[in-house]
Amino acid sequence: MASLLLAVIYLSFISLGLPDALLGAAWPTMSQDLGAPVSWAGGISMTISAATICSALMSDRVTLRFGAGRVTAVSVGLTAAALMGFSIAPNYWTLIALAIPYGLGAGGVDAALNNYVAIHYESRHMSWLHCMWGVGALTGPYVMGYALSHGQGWPWGYRYIGFIQIALTAVIIISLPLWKARRRPQTTVSTAASDANGEPRKPLGIRGVVAIKGASEILLMFLCYCAIESTCMLWGSTYMVMGHGIGKAEAASWISLFFIGITVGRALSGFLTMRLADHQMIRLGQALILAGIVIMLLPLPHHIGVFAGLTIIGLGCAPVYPCIIHSTPAYFGEENSQAIVGVQMACAYVGTMLMPPLFGLIAQYVTVDLFPCFLLVFLALMVAMHESLRRKRG
């Protein structure tokens, strides 16, 4: 039965990644059909991010009351409804309105699933589950491309993903008894509802989380990691074109190496976690990110340094995100982990929402050549926070 539940969670992570790249893939066509300027895509993505942050911050309170299974089912259902709404949206402002339930659903399932897996499963499953998210994120654009290339239009691209989400919602609802039955062998009291003393636990809130020794460090680690990942995703191609004179089409193809590095890296990380602890995996990832940045700065012929550097940075990013989450219950206790993971998710989306635009300003008003240095600053802060966390909670 535990294996069956794990299969449902794996499907949930694939589903979580499916819609993430749809807007970017479809927007050139959507903007024309809806009569919206190309730049307005940012309004939709920021609304989704803002709603996701709110949902993640509420996850401790909601999951404490209803349980991870129910929260996941409702969150996926909410996302499915929003996607189906996108497919029939008559104008841009309808998309903005639908972006709110879209983000609320995404944040809810992200925080609930990550904490549930961190508590109930080994570190290798966390890495492989996030690898499955990568599979979903890579698959979404292909589904949209299929709809566009067959003359069905972008609404059917959203519709196809919406149908998948509806089916998954039904699967999760059917599997709800499995979520209740799953318990860690050493746990005698449900830590979702009780503290370490067995007393009914109250939601911590943001102030309660920040007051915990070491929590600020792990939250800043998350923000720094997501700043690195999202900046590479958004500005990697631009750095190739403007910083190294690489052709636009070639740069668009080569940036996929970063995504491949993350996806393949997480598959490999699952095996490495059988031999290495979470903090060792995080340090390994940080070392690889540093190596990738250094290689990008080397004057190698034919732009090999840029291509290899982004690939290695992707490999380095692979273990950091899942291992930070998986280590959270061990550092802070299962009774606090849901609240901390929820704030971690919020910090992740803050980093994703704010740091790439910050580098955009640097690229526009200073120089795009500062791209590796920008990554290095956040890597240095992430390393410092990790070592401080180890001293306080290790």
In a domain, 157, yes or no: yes
Helix axes 278-297, 371-393, angle to 10 degrees: 160
Amino acid letter for position 143: V
In a domain, 223, yes or no: yes
- In the predicted model, what is the mean pLDDT of residues 365-377? 93
If asked whether residues 169 and 211 sit together in one domain, one would say no
Q: Which carries the bigger pLDDT value, residue 202 or residue 209? A: 209
Predicted confidence at residue 115, as pLDDT, reads 78
- In the predicted model, what is the mean pLDDT of residues 269-289? 93
Cα–Cα distance for residue pair 186/349, rounded to 1 Å = 34
Question: Mean pLDDT, the chain, as a whole number?
Answer: 84
Domains in the chain, number: 2
If asked whether residues 211 and 358 sit together in one domain, one would say yes
Query: Are the C-beta atoms of residues 251 and 241 closer than 8 Å to each other?
Result: yes
If asked whether residues 240 and 366 sit together in one domain, one would say yes
Q: What proportion of the chain, given as a percentage, has pLDDT over 70? A: 91
Predicted confidence at residue 192, as pLDDT, reads 46
Predicted confidence at residue 237, as pLDDT, reads 81
Residue pLDDT, tens place only, 348-359: 888 888 888 888
- For residue 23 the two structure tokens come to 């807007």
Q: What proportion of the chain, given as a percentage, has pLDDT over 90? A: 28
Distance of CA 115 to the CA centre of its chain: 13
SS3 call for 386:
helix
If asked whether residues 215 and 349 sit together in one domain, one would say yes
Residue pLDDT, tens place only, 123-154: 888 888 888 887 887 788 788 888 888 888 88
Least confident among 56-60, 206-210, 252-256, 261-265: 252-256
If asked whether residues 219 and 282 sit together in one domain, one would say yes
Residue pLDDT, tens place only, 164-178: 999 989 988 998 888
Q: What is the pTM of this model?
A: 0.77
In a domain, 264, yes or no: yes
In a domain, 47, yes or no: yes
In this model, does residue 188 exceed pLDDT 80?
no
If asked whether residues 136 and 279 sit together in one domain, one would say no
Confidence of residue 314 (pLDDT cuts 50, 70, 90): very high
If asked whether residues 379 and 334 sit together in one domain, one would say yes
Say which CATH number the domain at 58 has: 1.20.1250.20
Predicted confidence at residue 88, as pLDDT, reads 92
CA angle 314, 315, 319 (to 5 degrees): 105
Which is it for the CA torsion 131, 107, 76, 67, positive or negative?
positive
If asked whether residues 278 and 352 sit together in one domain, one would say yes
Predicted confidence at residue 111, as pLDDT, reads 77
- In the predicted model, what is the mean pLDDT of residues 51-80? 83
Predicted confidence at residue 199, as pLDDT, reads 55
Cα–Cα distance for residue pair 218/299, rounded to 1 Å = 35
